[in-house]
Structure 1
Amino acid sequence: MQKHVIFDMDGVLVDSEPIHMQILGEVLQEMGVNLTREYHFTLVGMGALMMWEKLKKDFGLEGKPADLLEAHKAYFFSVIGDRQIPKTEGVSELLCRLKDSGYNLSLGSSSPVKLIDIFMEKAGLGRYFDHMVSSEHVARGKPFPDIFLKVAGLYDISPDAFVVIEDSRNGVKAARAAGMQCIGYRNANSGQQDLSAADLIIDDFRELTTTKMNMFYCVNE
């Protein structure tokens, strides 16, 4: 059978959660809210509009969540060009191993399309992926399964042909809701995420040998 892997972006392909926290903190500070690391970790992997709905509710912010999101995006894109976005350690080698072994690779992220394009250009990883799907392409972001089901639809194959790699509780929930197997990647910068629903949890991409990846597909054959 064909082998498909969907990568989350933030915290999996690029180690970007610290910069997300920094910029969101700058936006919220202008609104009189001090963002803590612990609170930020509850937002990791969440769809952007859902995040601002939560922020508005939790902090009593003025304005509509959609307008707050647009202001956040405008500020983010005005400053992101000067910020460094490091690739996650070992991810380039993993992508090469999978491509060389005939895997079909896609990206499924809660981030907006423009940000995906920027991060993939900065990291030089976009060439590995057949499809790059954003929460902007679907009705609901993670923890709902829409992003991953959209990827399966683009290939026109069953969701059970996919393995998802995620670093957040919201992402793992989305993968399982889509009927896909999931590898949880522990990234310290994503906080102590509950990845217990994943089929496999790793701390280092070097653990994902081709032999170990192939085991996921033997189950379905």
Structure 2
Amino acid sequence: MKTIQAILFDMDGTLVDSERVGQKAWAATADEMGIEIPDDLVRAFIGRPSQSCRAMLAEYLGGDADLANRVFDLHIELFLKFVETDLELKPGAIEVLEALKAAGFPLAIATSTARVRALPRLERFDMLKYFDSITCGDEIANGKPAPDIFVESARRLGCDPALCAVIEDSHNGVRSGHASGARVFMIPDIVAPTPEIEEMCTAVLPTLHELPAAIAAVNDSPAPRRA
């Protein structure tokens, strides 16, 4: 069994509790625009890059790309407004990053969020210092569930994806990590795993707090092995 030598974290919904802020922004957007945006559609956006979400929204709106872009742009405006007051870290985020960094693991962010929005989110919680690499959704050709972002994230660390752990909260993120060849640890946020998604995971954990022990178990060591 290959050991885990590096760890690739999704950001939204995994380290930062932004998905609930996003849901609040979608609800406010629907109210302001006077349209219905189903919860199922909003959940389907989770883990996808913005261009994919815009296309899905346009399809739902009968192919009206102009309306979809206006709706999506309003959502972004409201989301950024709510972020200023509502955004919090996921429980255990800082403690887990400190523990894994102290154990010698290279850590990376692999997020569908564009860099211009991802970096302020990480800076807000003083998390940039923990990461050796940051790969964003506007820097790769194909977004999640394609494997590109985790393949590129591993490359930037100089590590084979098969020697990486991917930490995700979404179905699309799990699919992406699994397709890259990495071991996937899912910590569900808004959407629970299906049997199909569970099959792709090395472990499904209730919170971030359980992650160091789960990685240590894969590496067959009482503590996370140094890279």
TM-score normalized with structure 2 length: 0.84
Which residue of structure 2 aligns with residue 213 of structure 1?
215
* Deviation, structure 1 residue 44: 1.0
Query: Cα offset for 1:208?
Result: 2.2
In 2, Cα distance between the equivalents of 1:114 and 1:73?
16
Deviation per CA, 1:76-122: give whole Å up to 9, x if none: 57625633211100111111110110010000111111221121122
Structure 2: stretches of 5+ with no match in the other structure: 221-227
1:174 deviation in Å?
A: 0.2
Which residue type is aligned with residue 199 of structure 1?
T
Q: 2:173 maps to what in 1?
A: 171
**Other-structure match for 2:206:** 203
Letter in 2 for 1:201: V
Aligned ranges 1:1-221 → 2 under 5 Å: 3-60=5-62, 62-63=64-65, 67-68=69-70, 71-72=73-74, 75-76=77-78, 79-80=81-82, 82-187=84-189, 190-194=190-194, 195-196=197-198, 197-210=200-213, 212-217=214-219
When residues 156 and 209 of structure 1 are mapped into structure 2, their CA distance, relative to the original with a 3 A threshold, is: closer
Corresponding residue SS for 1:12 = coil
- How many residue pairs match? The answer is 216
1:14–1:123 CA contact under 8 A, matched in 2: no
Secondary structure of the structure 2 residue equivalent to 1:132: strand
The 1-side partners of 2:81 and 2:41 are apart by 23
Residue 191 of structure 1 and its aligned partner are, at CA, apart by: 2.5
**Aligned mates of 2:125, 2:158 — CA distance in 1:** 29
Which whole-Å CA distance do the structure 2 matches of 1:121 and 1:216 have between them? 31
Letter paired with 1:44: I
Against the structure 1 CA distance between its residues 70 and 191, is the aligned structure 2 distance closer, same or farther, given a 3 Å change threshold? closer
The answer to whether the 8 A contact 1:85-1:122 is kept is no
CA–CA distance in structure 1, aligned partners of residues 115 and 67 of structure 2: 19
State how far apart, in whole Å, the 2-side matches of 1:153 and 1:69 are: 36
2-structure distance, mates of 1:35, 1:46: 17
User: 1:64: Cα distance to partner?
Assistant: 5.1
Relative to 1, partners in 2 of residues 1:171 and 1:83: Cα closer, same or farther, differing over 3 Å? Answer: same
CA pair 72-178 structure 1, distance change in 2 beyond 3 A: farther
- Secondary structure of 2:146's counterpart equals coil
Write out per-residue CA displacement over residues 126-156 of structure 1, whole angstroms, 9 at most, x where no aligned residue: 2111111111000111011111111122123
Against the structure 1 CA distance between its residues 180 and 82, is the aligned structure 2 distance closer, same or farther, given a 3 Å change threshold?
same
What amino acid sits opposite 2:185 in the alignment? I
Identity, % of aligned positions: 24
Query: Is the contact between residue 4 and residue 218 of structure 2 (CA under 8 Å) also seen in structure 1?
Result: no
Task: Name the SS of the counterpart of 2:14 in structure 1.
Answer: coil
C-alpha displacement at 1:46, in angstroms? Answer: 1.2
How many angstroms apart in 1 are the aligned matches of 2:62 and 2:129?
A: 42
Q: Which amino acid aligns with 2:212?
A: T
